[in-house]
Amino acid sequence: MALLSNTAVLLGKELRTEFRSRELLTTTVVFILIVIVLFSFTFEPTSDESRRFGPGLLWLAFLFAASLMLQPCFLREQNNDTLSALRLSVSDPFAIFLPKLAANTLFLLLTELFLLPFFAMMYNVPVVGVLHWLVLVFVLGSLGISIAGTALSAISAQARMRELLLPLLMLPLLTPILVASTEVTKGLLDRAPYVQWKGIGFLAIFDMVFLTALWLFGEYLLEE
């Protein structure tokens, strides 16, 4: 019960500070928009070519966006040592992680959903018919990226070369989830769309395993 109420309180704080500064959302939306527009010039956005390159490009842009979002996640807690204040205030350290990964997932999802119409328009790919499946992949993929990324952000925030360390740790760990997300998205953007259940199952299992690991070992990630 305390976990849920603490999570709600801290999620409220994360959302309030972000919507007050709009620091992360603005940066990432502009960044992904630039990537999508730039790539639309590099190859002919005919439907076939877009279907071939689109999914990979989309998830690559999401990965970069996630890197931008996850970097300051725990770094901001270091500025005034608010992490110590949080650790002194909550009994379960998972209550510190849960709102952060929920906020990261939400911000990433908002960015993805905001940019999907631009992607569909510029790359001439119809998405309306498979929108609900795409949302499912975005949710599972973003959740996986956020869980692993939030944990790694906690580790890297305490390191000396923190800006370099996070992408270095994150990229290899996220490769399986990116491959699965890209594969499922590719199937959904196909001329004859299909749902790749194996990929969706993999994403769900990845999320559950990493969430459980974070719940069990999160305490050690916050220790000095």
Partner 1 sequence: MAFAGRNGSGKTTLLRIAARLARPSSGAVNFLNGSGEKFATPPPAGFVAHATMVYDELTAEENLLLFARLQGIAKPAARTERLLGEVGLMDRRNSLVRTFSRGMRQRVAIARALLSEPPVVLLDEPTTGLDPQGARWFAQTVRQLRDSGRTILMSLHGESEVSSLATRAIRLDAGAVVADTRTGANFRSILAFANA
Q: Which residues bind partner 1 (CB under 8 A)?
A: 2, 5-6, 9-10, 13, 16-17, 20-21, 79-82, 84-90, 95, 223-224
CB of 98 to partner 1, least distance (A): 13
Distance, CA of 178 to CA of 189 (rounded, Å): 16
Residue 193 backbone class (left: φ over 0; alpha: ψ -120 to 50; beta: rest): beta
Task: Output 70 or 83, the one with its CB closest to partner 1.
Answer: 83
CB of 89 to partner 1, least distance (A): 4
Task: Output 20 or 160, the one with its CB closest to partner 1.
Answer: 20
Task: Output 72 or 176, the one with its CB closest to partner 1.
Answer: 72
Non-local (6+) Cβ contacts of 26 within 8 A are none
CB of 22 to partner 1, least distance (A): 12
Task: Output 42 or 79, the one with its CB closest to partner 1.
Answer: 79
Q: Annotate 170-221 with three-state secondary structure.
A: HHHHHHHHHHHHHHHHHHHCCCCCCCCHHHHHHHHHHHHHHHHHHHHHHHHH
DSSP 133: H
Instruction: Look at residues 76, 213, 62, 202 and name the one whose alpha carbon lies nearest to residue 145.
Output: 62
CB of 147 to partner 1, least distance (A): 22
CA-to-CA dists, residue 165 to 23, 25, 143, 159, 202, angstroms: 22, 22, 21, 8, 27
CB of 85 to partner 1, least distance (A): 4
Task: Output 7 or 182, the one with its CB closest to partner 1.
Answer: 7
